[in-house]
Structure 1
Amino acid sequence: MMLQAHLFSLCLLILYLTTGYGQEGKFSGPLKPMKLSIFEGQEPSQIIFQFKVNSPAVSFELTGETDNTFKIEPDGLLYLIKPLDRETRSIYNLQVAALDAHGAIVEGPVPVTIEVKDINDNRPTFLQPKYEGSVRQNSRPGSQELDPTKNPSYSLVVSVKDMGGQTENSFSDSTSVDITVMENIWKAPQPVEIVENSTDPHPIRITQVQWNDPGAQYSLFEKEKRPTFPFSIDQEGYIYVTQPLDREEKDSYVFYALAKDEHGKPLSYPLEIRVKVKDINDNPPTCPSKVTVFEVQENEILGSNIGTLSARDMDEENTVNSILEYRIVAQTPQIPMDGLFLVQTYSGVFQLAKRSLKKQDTPHYNLTVQVSDKDFKTLCAVQINVIDINDQIPIFRKSDYGNLTIPENTKIGSIILTIQATDADEPFTGSSKILYRITQGDSEGRLGVDTDPHTNAGYVTVKKPLDFETAAVSNIIFKAENPEPLVPGVAYNASSFAKFTLIVTNVNEAPVFSQYVFQARVSEDVATGTKVGNVTAKDPEGLDIRYSLRGDTRGWLKIDPVTGEIFSAAPLDREAESVYRVKVVATEVGGSSLSAVSDFHLTLMDVNDNPPRLAKEYTGLFLCHPLSASGSLIFQATDDDWQSFRGPQFTFSLGSESLQKDWEVLKINGTHARLSTKHTNFEEGVYDIPIRINDGGRPPLEGTVSLPVTFCTCVEGRCFRPAARLPGIPAMGTAVGILLTTLLVIGIILAVVFIRMKTNKGKDNVQSARASEVQPLRS
């Protein structure tokens, strides 16, 4: 037995080594919880994992759901002792513990989960050896091609294959399926016709729909949302009309039938139901109006069409129910005879039948016309008015209205003359209405004639301004005519013409400029005295004109008073005013000295006459002292000259070559540049840096500006300037010198004062002593 155990361990070791299980970390490792996977169906003695522990552990113990399937060796080899079957058991929960030489647990137990991985070792099988089913034609997508009349049934063989049929190791099974094709009875019925205004009891069954299986719930719906829906359906699929229909109200209906299951879900597509309402003759003809009026001229020839009576019938068009017949049943008055008119039976066209009419016989006729269909008759009233023919021409009461004198400034719209003609045709008709037209003497259309609709008087009015200078005297000829054409054989003659002479008197008018605004363009650098433009004006009376300027606030211009030529009177400056606007006054010489005013706009074109300069005053530029690195400042230049659409294009350089070792200027864009230090060794103080700026114009102009830069101590990012550094206050050294000098002067003054005081005191003592010596003698 000992030998067999050693041989088995040796075999496991060889299998362990040859299968790669001896690789550290992949199939071996310390004792800890883990999850391992093993394919089902493997041969026994398959090594799963090797656990490793340290002393004093000398062996292992396996517990849990081993099912006599797993075993562990003293050296930690966990292996199978019989094949696994995932369909029988897919998960094994084990515990592994490490034991010492006395069998005591020194490490663990730890959980080890074995997951059995599936392999394809079971073939698919059908639950039945044979299946039967049915399908209805048109009941679902793809079934439209089925036709029970051609192929009522199908026998199919259905196969199933696992693993998607993609490998040679997949299994398969098959069975037979018998399918019966059934007719689909869910289909739209034929269109239905319903006679309108039926007197039969309602509801009336009109058609039926039927679902393929019992138990369906039926409903109707329409796309048109009408106040009433005169149809219903029962649960057997029968469709009813619920009330009488009126074809004249609606001649057809389209709605839909829907079948649903017990859950309210539609079983299939809706079926379209079409209902046509069949007409009956239930409407009498109607007249187009209470009285239909026609007109006929009194000289109308026989057979002429007078008009058409168009009666209506609400029944269906182009059927026997709506065919109408017309017949005249009465004529009033019967003068000069009855039957003067006839009407075509089916078209309603009226014609003159027997003779031409005369208005003096009667001005109008009243006819009664019977309009009938096959069941109904209606009487319509027709009135035929006899119209007078235009056989009379307009005649002026007088042919010459003499002379008419008016001033040329007469207001437009003024009535200057009334003319009158008469016409003997019937009043207030196109035959008697008079239109007046000027045929000669007014080619400019300055006059017009308006007709009074009640009296036919003609009012001659001013339509355009009159002008003495172009038309002082005009011989005007009028013609009076009718809007209706004259009958053949009648023509207008001299009686329809009249005349008068229009005399326009002169009125002194102000001069007129040829333009409302005069414009000119010159360069701003033109020499004084250069002609920059001219204006022109004319006086309607032909008087001479004198020109002058108004609003020349800058004194830049002067004008020739006779010719209107305008000259520069002083240097021009576009930068001061790019468009110079003044007023030009034209005054007539003599007469009333009337004047007119126009505008003169002089646009000044730019020349490059302004050197570049700084865009603003830079007084607060500073750099913090001491510099830790090179510093830089940005500044901007500008130019008072006009800039093109590209904007200014300045170039920048240092104004002194001696500064190039300390400073440099770099261009950023056409207007901005950067001033930078080249080192950090600058003292505190203010540096005035000269910058040369060139505008690149034609000709180019250059300007030198001074950019003050202060190097100062910074406090919280701001330049700190001690009082000693402020302008107007001396520096520290200077202040100390002044203070010492002041103290020295004060000391000298005090010394002199003390010396003098001492000297004076000595003199006083001598005098006192002498006085004391003399006093006794006096006493």
Structure 2
Amino acid sequence: MKGYHVVEKLWCSMNSNPDPWCNNPPYVYNSSSNTTSDFTIATDNQSDCTLLIHNVQFNYSGVYKFRFITNVTLGKYTGLTGATLQVTGGNPDHWPVEAVVTAVVLFIALVILGVVIYWMRRKDEAQKDNRGKNGVQIQVKQLPQSNEEVSQQEEVTYATVFVNHLNNDFSKETKMVYSITGEGADMHPAGLFTIDRNTGQMYVSQPLDRESKDQYVLQAHAQSSTANIKEPAMGVIVEVLDQNDNSPIFTQNPFIGSVPEASKIGFEFRTVSATDADDPNTYNADIRYSIVAQIPAEPHPNMFAINPISGAIRNFREYTLDIQAADMQGDGRAVTGKAVITVTDSNDNAPKFVKTTYNVSVPEDQVGVVVVKLPVTDDDEPQSSAWASKFRIVNGDSGGFFNISTGPNKQEGIITTVKALDYEDNRKFTLLVAVENDVPFAKPLLTSTATIIVNVADVNEAPVFHPKEKTVIKPEDAAVDSELVVYTATDPDTDRNQKVTYRVGTDLAGWLTVDKDTGLIKVKSPMDRESSYVKDGKYRALILAVDNDSVPATGTGTLIIELEDVNDNAPIIEDRLIEVCNKDPSPLLLSVTDKDGPNFAAPFNVELQGDGRNNWTARMNDSKTGIILLLKTPLEQGIYNVILRVYDSGHHFQDNTVQATVCDCEGANVNCKSMRTANFGFPAVLGILGAILALLLLLLLLLLFLKRKRTKKEQPLINDDDIRDNVYYYDEEGGGEDDQDFDLSVLHRGLDNRPDVFRNDVAPTFMPAPQYRPRPANPEEIGTFIDDNLKAADNDPTAPPYDSLLVFDYEGGGSEAGSLSSLNSSSSGDQDYECLGEWGPRFKKLADMYGGGED
């Protein structure tokens, strides 16, 4: 078809503004392309015209449809691809023969070409039919900066021509070759836009999405295919026009809201919203809302509007609204969502007492007891704040004896006592209680009240001391049986005329006694302010008062005795054992304490007594609370007693003996280890021997005493059926039996099995040596010397007798314990000792001694 030329005239699109030469043109409309550069009109006048197609590349797989319209009403439409439409009308005499022949030839050729293209693209047409129905509007205009701006709709059918050709100055002189670069061409997304290198026609090969990218910037290039001619690059800006291809989306689904019942008309309580991905500057994203449905549709289906809401409904707790959001100002794409509206209860019902009068009885003298429970009812929504109740005592409790609280179920008032009631003071209370809700009433309502008559029951009350704690001040040396104080109680049960008696309840030190009738408290035993039972100079005791009711009641009072300090304790030196060198000794500090109070304690004073004056010096430190003791005369190595008389501030004194160990050393490097070993000499040996002799003598006396007490036959110590060391007594007579296996050698402890006996003349080396005082030079101290050394010997673990010496189980020849067979009593003949022979080998010696056997 290319090259068919008759009288050519550019046609005008019915969608474009007509040029001046299109005042009354024939119109051509292509529903698939809207392209204005692919078609021309061959006509000799405005009534007879032929549609010619030239320079067309059918890159689109689809059906091309043309409509040719004139001002004649007989204009027709055909859907055949490449069809030429002959419009009839007007005067047929004016139809030229050349036009009719040309039309017929073109019609046949176009029909053949259309059939071929139709069947070749039939498959693609079925897949892309929806895209073929979208029109593309192309606007091309020359910009001053030599840029080409193109508006292209999204979702366009790919392989669509959207620019006719790129005009250039050399296209009429030589053949030009066209190319494009930039976004969508050779840059990401590459291949989206293509260009016919011969004609300069540009194509889009894939659908566009404005929401992903709304503009592409390209560069168009043109150069001669034969000569070295190259046009400057021209910028092409492709703007993707928005289509309404996105439906609104609700920001949440469902929307949850609540509205109080009895709300006023027009009360806005919830806002619904939706978004649209289309261009916000177009109607495509202009959303309108409407309510589609209301569930339940009662009491009438128009309870809610999307913004104003009317009605005060509590018959239904929840409404579900179907809401629609549509763009294009409500005429475009639409989406539906849900809004769940909960009608909350308002406090339009007052709580009411189930009963309005109560008559109860409460025992006196009890705190925290439940007086009465007051149930109520409420017609509002259960478990809501309009249903929960609170109570208050309006009248009748001026003394503050009662409290009312709400029960766990929120529908009950509980009255309890917070102070002890007194039958003798008030025997009846009349309380007025009102009930309300946690939230105020939505409208004026009457408040429900109840009257409670509380009768106080009389009980036996304990006597009451006045005051509860009584304090007296007495010296700690108060004489025994001296009076301290009279502490009495009264019985609050005045109507019962009961007698009250007294006794001591708690007296840890046992210092007090009380007269049961009068309550007079006296000193029972001497008191001591320095006792561990006294805290901060105060001694506490509990005194009891008991009435004589059938069920006695006991009251308690606390007696506090503040003991005045007396100087009854002398100062004491805490450090009684010291060690000092005999050469250039260092002074020693001895701390002094006094159990008395500060008035009879420091400052202290000290004096040396006895021989200590000759060898020692003693003085108080600067604070008068410690003694500085210094050896002034070099002494031989040994242990010395230093007597120090210490006075307190009240001149009460006591002699304190300090045991000083003088060692052969110098200065402050005290080393008395060698002295401890050397002190274990002759006095220690004498003590050990004396202890051994005393122990043996005591043992002999004990055995003699036991021998003399046996005046009659006694039951054997061990019964016949007793079992000892796996040796059984079968009361057999005669020889033993062969079936019994006895190893009698195990039961005999001969000389080879005698236990080891330690030597008593050598002290164990692992035990510490005792410290014995050397013999004093002054005969007056001999008594103290004996007492101290005797005490040291008694506490000496190394002193004999050792445990190893107390071996009595072997009494044969050569036994260190000796034989006891000589200890016989003249009255032994009166005893029956035959049972000893039945006790076995272990008692053989004893049986021989008393039974007349071998020695």
Whose strand fraction is larger, Structure 1's or Structure 2's?
1
What TM-score comes out, normalization by structure 2 length? 0.40
What TM-score comes out, normalization by structure 1 length? 0.43
Whose helix fraction is larger, Structure 1's or Structure 2's?
2
